[in-house]
């Protein structure tokens, strides 16, 4: 992407009940200054306007910009991506949280990173998404979602065991994978393999692979392991008991109720999320830096 193609920058940020903190405001001002130096303009989502009153507001759910910058952790970046699904607007994540696996830039590197991006010195990782939907017993779709990280079927409220059935293939031609009892199931993209699925014992998947991952959560059997599914397949999850309904949570932010007889159907999505990456910020470099994956100890062991 050439620098001339970025003329407008939209900023989203993590906010608390009391409003944005001082780090968010300082980062917004740094981004705006770097944009101005490169002949671009910056605006902020309405929730940040009180922290930086000198910057114009932008509603990214309807307004278009050339670049979106997210300030916070992975949750903020996921929220930014959800505002942009289907519009092919690049997202640059700046980490103001703890881990920030999806983010590219630390808080002390904002000016340099922004100048690099506005000069066109970056590349895009186009991350795969999942299409998830809740279907009623007649097969009619009740709700649809686009997923960047994961879709999780689980119990609401108190911790209780759920009984789930898993199927693969389109309706009418599906084959049963099996059933199990546990805390739920995670259906994740390669991007989401380093999120909730990883903490539940799932493998790390290189983002370029065309596949998705089925990871049981605390299954009540030693024989059940995460399952890697080809991108052309379709997975359905059903509830096997008639007690309280389950929940489908998408990217940890929204979801819907899954009643008895409903099916949660997941397949690869058609849209990819373009994440901005700078030189030296490859997937494997991030694994080493943030997860200490295969990093040698100080004594060389």
Q: Is the pLDDT of residue 158 over 80?
A: no
Q: Which of 191, 173, 183 is nearest to 236 (CA)?
A: 173
pLDDT of residue 2: 41
Q: Which of 219, 156, 144, 158 is nearest to 185 (CA)?
A: 219
Rounded to an integer, the average pLDDT of 148-174 is 88
Identify the structural domains of the chain with CATH numbers, from first to last: 3-122+278-291 (3.40.50.10330), 129-271 (2.60.200.30)
pLDDT of residue 141: 93
Rounded to an integer, the average pLDDT of 205-226 is 92
Q: What is the pTM of this model?
A: 0.90
How would residue 1 be classed by pLDDT, with cut points 50, 70 and 90? very low
Out of 37, 74, 108, 183, the active site residue is 74
Residue 74: active-site member: yes
- Is the alpha carbon torsion for 102, 105, 106, 107 positive or negative? negative
Residues 95, 97, 100: CA angle, nearest 5 degrees: 55
CA distance 157 to 249: 13
Rounded to an integer, the average pLDDT of 149-167 is 88
């Amino acid at each position: 992407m050439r620098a001339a193609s970025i003329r407008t920058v939209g900023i989203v940020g993590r906010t608390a009940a009391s409003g944005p903190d001082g780090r968010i405001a300082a980062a917004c001002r740094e981004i705006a200054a770097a944009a101005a130096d490169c002949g671009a303009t910056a605006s902020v989502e309405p929730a940040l306007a009180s922290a930086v009153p000198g910057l114009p507001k932008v509603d990214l759910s309807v307004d278009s910009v050339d670049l979106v910058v997210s300030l916070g952790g992975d949750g903020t970046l996921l929220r930014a991506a959800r505002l942009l699904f289907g519009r092919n607007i690049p997202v640059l994540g700046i980490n103001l949280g703890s881990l920030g696996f999806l983010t590219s830039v630390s808080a002390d590197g904002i000016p340099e990173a922004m100048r690099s991006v506005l000069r066109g010195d970056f590349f895009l990782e186009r991350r795969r998404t999942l299409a998830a939907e809740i279907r009623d017993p007649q097969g009619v779709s009740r709700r649809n979602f686009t997923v960047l990280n994961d879709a999780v079927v689980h119990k609401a409220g108190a911790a209780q065991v759920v009984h789930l059935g898993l199927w693969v293939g389109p309706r009418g031609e599906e084959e049963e994978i099996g059933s199990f009892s546990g805390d739920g199931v995670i259906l994740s993209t390669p991007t989401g393999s380093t999120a909730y699925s990883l903490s539940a014992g799932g493998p790390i998947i290189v983002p370029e692979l065309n596949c998705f991952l089925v990871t049981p959560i605390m299954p009540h059997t030693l024989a059940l392991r995460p399952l890697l599914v080809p991108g052309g397949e379709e997975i359905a999850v059903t509830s096997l008991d008639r007690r309280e309904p389950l929940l489908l949570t998408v990217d940890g932010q929204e979801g819907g109720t899954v009643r008895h007889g409903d099916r949660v159907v997941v397949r690869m999505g058609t849209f990819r999320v373009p994440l901005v990456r700078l030189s030296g910020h490859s997937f494997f470099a991030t694994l080493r830096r943030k997860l200490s994956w295969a990093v040698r100890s100080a004594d060389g062991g």
